[in-house]
Amino acid sequence: MIKGRDKIRAVVIGGSAGSFPLMGKIFASLPANFRHPIIVAPHRLKHVRHGFVEALRLKSALEIIEPIDKQKIEAGKIYIAPANYHMSAEPDVYLSLTTEDMRLSSRPSIDITLSSVGELYKENTLGILLTGANKDGAYGMKVINDQGGITIVQDPSTCMVDTMPKSAMEITQIDYVMSVDEIIKVLLSINR
Amino acid sequence: MYKFDLKYSDLNTFAEELKYKCRIDIKSFTEGAAKRIIGGFMDTHKVSGVYDLINWINANPRNKDEFMKAIIPNKTEFFRDPDLWRFLEAELPKIVKSQGSIKVLDLGASSGQEIYSFSIMVNNLKLNKQVELIAAEKFQIKINQMLEGTYSEKEFESCENNYSRFKVGKSFDEFVSRQGGAFKLKEEFITPIQTKQYDLVNDRAFGEFDIVLCRNVMCYISLKKARPVYKSLSDFTKKNGYLILGVQEDLSNSFFNRDFNCVNEEFKVYQKVR
């Protein structure tokens, strides 16, 4: 399926315009015994704090959490960056939520989450970037790649808006370009 | 994102050097935020390495001031989380009525957005004489910035957006005067604020308060340094007084959790019960 799948210890996913139903589909496809943490940075509306996570929880067998600052990262849980906070993985294996300026008009910033997870888990990171309408996430994918992790972008031809995966492909060597169904197969394969 | 990308390993070296050579201590900062803020600063100022940055900071006092302003994160916005402010506006008159007069403390006040939001709300409620407002901040340079009360046009847009959600259909414009591309808060909201230089990580509590605001401050303090700070939060809060954290913060990492009841889970409002 993918080379180096046995080394994966953490999954990080970013996405913007059109990615919400895809995230729902991905999470609904994962078994309750999924053994890695999944850390997710979606672009979210600043003032809408409720509804997003609740909707994702409806179909997932995994626990989906909107973390509190300094929450420990645990295997088998899905962490969604809250509205109006940047979320980064810290060296002591917890998530910090901060209020610095928006990056590329976004808080949460996908770059911040992806790059911090890449730095924490290094070659054990699987970074996934889905459909989206700006360049956020491209830098984060570059960090994951530089750290020796595995990178996958959604096939631009299947994206609602292809700017995000294409931007990542422009600034770094992306390992795999896949449809969402193929991405789900990869996630299932790293759980073996 | 950055041409210069500060790594965690660089950050540790930099923090040591910064403390030794510039007398600036950033070791209490959350590593991720410190790395991003300093990396961004180096990028903006085209400084290519941590030793070059130390030299740049020490080159003249203006550089040091500029660096200090940059590394202390703002709380970002006036009236952040408009629903919380609606809740406070409903509760504050009841608290004042039961206490007669109250003291409010904003910890880690940075450039003042939170305490000034409180000042505007108190003014709207005509409770100025009953509510004393104190802003505590570690860095004098930030206190000076706070007392100046001048903010960027970009910041005004987020204020306007938040305030119109807090007070539906109302504009933030009535509280400010325009100064070129910036806006200045009217003096009537600045003058009631007492300021105090205070280091949340290293200093002891300097009094007890009816309401303690410490919103989105703990998130910038590393887990290792956070534990004693929770003691100060408890010490600062009067019995039956209120402690208000950021909406994504809580007391779960704190031994002092047992001293508080959470009276509003959504807005992280705690009442001290013992």
The number of residues making up chain B comes to 274
**pLDDT score for B46:** 87
> B1-20 in b/e burial notation, b at 16+ Cβ within 10 A?
beebbbeeebbeebbebbee
The tens digit of pLDDT for each residue in B127-170 reads 999 999 999 998 898 999 999 999 988 888 888 889 998 888 78
Tell me what pLDDT residue B72 has. 78
B105 touching chain A per CB within 8 A: no
CB contacts under 8 A, B 51-70 vs A, are none
Integer CA distances (angstroms), A68 to A186, B83, B132, B231, in order: 29, 19, 31, 19
- The beta-carbon neighbor of B33 closest among A47, A98, A143 is A98
DSSP result, B165-202: HHTTT--GGGGEEEETTEEEE-HHHHTTEEEEE--TTT
Name the catalytic one among A19, A86, A136, A162: A136
Which pLDDT tens digit goes with each residue over A58-83? 989 999 999 999 999 999 999 999 99
Residues of chain A in contact with residue B36, where contact means CB-CB under 8 angstroms, are 88, 100, 112
| Cα-based distances in Å from B48 to B5, B56, B191 | 9, 11, 42
Report the SS3 class of residue A107.
coil
Q: What is the mean pLDDT of chain B?
A: 90
Contact A143 B5 (CB under 8 A): yes
**Tokens 């070129």 -> residue:** B180
Q: Give the pLDDT of residue B44.
A: 87
B60-105 per-position pLDDT tens digit:
989 988 888 888 776 668 999 999 999 999 999 999 999 999 999 9
Match 């003058």 to its residue by tokens.
B191
The per-residue pLDDT for B74 is 65
Q: What is the pLDDT of residues B12-61, one digit of tens each?
A: 888 888 888 887 888 888 988 888 888 888 888 888 888 888 899 989 98
- Evaluate if residue A5 carries a pLDDT over 80: yes
B251 residue type, one letter: L
pLDDT digits (tens, 9 = 90+) for B187-245: 999 999 999 999 999 999 999 999 999 999 999 998 888 888 999 999 999 999 999 99
Check CB contact of B41 with chain A, cutoff 8 Å: no
pLDDT above 80: residue B273: yes
Residue A167 predicted with pLDDT over 70:
yes
The confidence band for A112, taking pLDDT boundaries of 50, 70 and 90, is very high
Per residue in A27-59, pLDDT (tens digit) is 999 999 999 999 999 999 888 888 889 999 998
User: Quick check: A105 contacting B, CB < 8 Å?
Assistant: no
More confident residue, B222 or A141: A141
pLDDT at B260: 96
Q: Are B214 and B243 in contact (CB under 8 A)?
A: yes
Nearest to A130 by CA among A81, A90, A167: A167
Which residues have CB under 8 Å from B249's CB, separation 6+? A68, A69, A97, B215, B216, B218, B219, B268
Give A66-81 as a DSSP string.
-PPTTEEP-TTEEEEP
A16 a catalytic residue: yes
**Cα torsion through B25, B30, B32, B36, rounded to 10:** -50
Residue percentage of chain A with pLDDT more than 90: 88
Contact between A47 and B165 using a beta-carbon 8 Å cutoff: yes
ipTM of the prediction:
0.89
- A175: annotated active-site residue: no
With a cut of 70, say whether residue B1 has pLDDT above it. no
